[in-house]
Structure 1
């Protein structure tokens, strides 16, 4: 199975990159499944129903969220009626929506996508390891699902690496989101799970993690808050990771970074070219 995971989409420039690059990538690489993290898509904070449908129309099969899931209040309502939008599974149980979804891939395979949020330097949510364990036990790789993707939305690289090893041999891919900088440690772990600490953002890298530089610089240099963070609106890079899985086991056989457009050095999965 051919799977593409796209990192956090930030603002309009990130949405433009999705519209420009994702349809061609899905067609040219013959992708079976596309996951897009959309938690920064609406003005840098949260997602709207219209933007969710933009991503689905561009080729996304499921959209994941994170700590800004409810920054656009409408998400509290529309998440209940759209089939492929998930928020972190370890949010308190009274939150709307769900933290995992079973998606039918283009090749007919069953793909379980799990979204979880870390706790180190973030909100004190429920234990993400226990909640991911619950999902993996309920739907085992190679039995209940042909592939399993875990989007771990976390700040600390140590916590992300721990989640990768925790899921090794039981998931097809564990990939980190939230810190917006693509890491170079993409690899297949000993048990066969593809791993990357952070997929990077789909946004303008001539910025401070996707935000226009002026306000972050002011806060760092003076300690003063003079305005709100606004997404940078330059040309964006679509950043993410591509994997291929074994049809018999669901484990990963190949992994490669993806960077299309913008200011970062381009990267494509050469095994699909």
Structure 2
């Protein structure tokens, strides 16, 4: 049996501190073999830096996925090209984009394929088809020994996420949605043995609008302005994650459990 802890989008300093405070306790309680987190909002809500990646690696995260904000911060292309940062970008970015969209992670006797995909519904940007990108990558690894395939599908629409879940059902171990910063309560094991959730949630300020200052968001809605978002730095931090248990004999998930924790960050 293999256990994987997948943490939702980590947002800003409060999210990083929340991970540092809560993750050691979660790892002690659940004993995961691998811990993955979405890092696209790690540095003040947009992209990553060497310092923010190192901070969360030190806290116990093993690998990072990302999404549509990963290229928003100058220099992120360099970090994507350096394997030591263990950072993926969505595999369906246009051909020639910096970084990689999948990686085989070797943990003890297990080989885990981590795949990052980007949705296209209600998303700005020119992305290739995530369904066909998944097909191409899975075909590439058909002849290799893979014990589990974990997909982070960074997408807005639940319909697109659910469709990909069913499309990949039985071919991957888990399809885990990210991007909305709101953990959904629709976790399930699909008929073919694939674990699914529409969104794993976030690690960020609980008293906020999806991790950013609520007053700014409300002001923008009331006045049709676009004042830059500001993640709170202190207060109650919410940590959302899911825990997968996997039968490595058949690559199928046996359970998916939602995790919700909070802690005070000052």
Which TM-score band applies after superposition, normalised by the shorter structure?
A: over 0.9
Residue 94 of structure 1: CA displacement?
Answer: 1.6
SS at match of 1:85: coil
Mind listing any 5+ residue stretches in structure 2 that lack a counterpart? none
**Structure with higher strand content:** 2
Deviations along 1:116-152, whole A, 9 cap, x unmatched?
A: 00000112311111111111122249x5310110000
> Quick check: 1:135 aligned with 2:128?
no
Q: Name the CA distance, whole Å, in 1 between partners of 2:95 and 2:9.
A: 24
1:90 to 83, 89, 92: 92
1:125 to 121, 124, 127: 127
| Conserved? CA contact 1:61–1:103, under 8 Å | no
SS at match of 1:76: helix
SS at match of 1:183: coil
Aligned length: 260
Match of 2:163 in 1: 162
Deviations along 1:132-187, whole A, 9 cap, x unmatched?
A: 1111122249x531011000000000000011111100111101000010000001
Deviations along 1:73-121, whole A, 9 cap, x unmatched?
A: 121112211342100000111211000011112x431110000000001
| Conserved? CA contact 2:170–2:194, under 8 Å | yes
SS at match of 1:27: helix
Q: Name the CA distance, whole Å, in 1 between partners of 2:42 and 2:196.
A: 24
Runs (4+) off by over 6 Å:
none
> Quick check: 1:230 aligned with 2:219?
no
Q: Name the CA distance, whole Å, in 1 between partners of 2:229 and 2:142.
A: 41
| Conserved? CA contact 1:49–1:74, under 8 Å | no
Q: Name the CA distance, whole Å, in 2 between partners of 1:139 and 1:54.
A: 32
Match of 1:210 in 2: 211
| Conserved? CA contact 1:113–1:149, under 8 Å | yes
> Quick check: 1:250 aligned with 2:245?
no
User: Structure 1 residues 136, 63: closer, same or farther in 2, change over 3 A?
Assistant: same
SS at match of 2:117: strand
Q: Name the CA distance, whole Å, in 2 between partners of 1:262 and 1:120.
A: 34
Residue 262 of structure 1: CA displacement?
Answer: 4.4
Per mean C-alpha deviation after superposition, the further-off stretch among 212-221 and 188-197 is 212-221
Q: Name the CA distance, whole Å, in 2 between partners of 1:147 and 1:77.
A: 28
TM-score using structure 2 length? 0.94
Q: Name the CA distance, whole Å, in 2 between partners of 1:108 and 1:36.
A: 22
Mind listing any 5+ residue stretches in structure 1 that lack a counterpart? 264-273
Q: Name the CA distance, whole Å, in 2 between partners of 1:78 and 1:183.
A: 31
Cα RMSD (Å):
1.5
Match of 1:200 in 2: 201
